Amino acid sequence: MSDTPGGNGNGEALDNQSGNGPQIQVLAQYVKDLSFENPSAPMSLQGQKPALEVGVDVQGRGLGTDQYEVMLRVRADAKTGSQTTFVCELTYAGVFMLKGIPQENVQPVLLIECPRLLFPFARRVVADTTRDGGFPPLLLDPIDFAALFRMQMARQQGAQPQSVQA
């Protein structure tokens, strides 16, 4: 299922009025990796509500001229006391074509806008997987990918050497 903001639903970006504005086109989206572990079954299915810890990571890489793969990684750990109830790990990815986007804006588009397009599909996969594992569907809360991007940039700047001199 490919669609883009301003797209026609067939994975084709529509030209804007000037014909050379910024465009994001979804070329493909797919489950790259999926793992579900239910190590305590059937005892874990007996109704005690587990404590959930959810982590999200976004990565992007170039594939060629104007094409990029963006990977949205989601890991959900559910524990009852010290016992693992379930672990769900998903890497959901998409291939995007970016046209007319200035180079300095490519990284923010890849790490904010592209995962925003992928998230509803990744959310559904996590919900279906946890439901099929015998638990209520895990419905992930919406994610502020702009805030996630800012935190990632702050971490990268903090990781750079403090005493760089010429």
> Which sequence spans correspond to the domains of the chain?
24-136
Mean pLDDT over 49-76 rounds to 93
Rounded CA separation 162/88 (Å): 38
The model scores a pTM over 0.85: no
Which CATH architecture does the domain made up of 24-136 adopt? Roll (3.10)
Tens digit of each residue's pLDDT (9 = 90 or more) over 99-137? 999 999 999 999 999 999 999 999 999 999 999 998 899
The pLDDT mean for the chain works out to 84
Please report, to the nearest 10 degrees, the dihedral formed by the alpha carbons of residues 139, 107, 158, 52 taken in order.
10
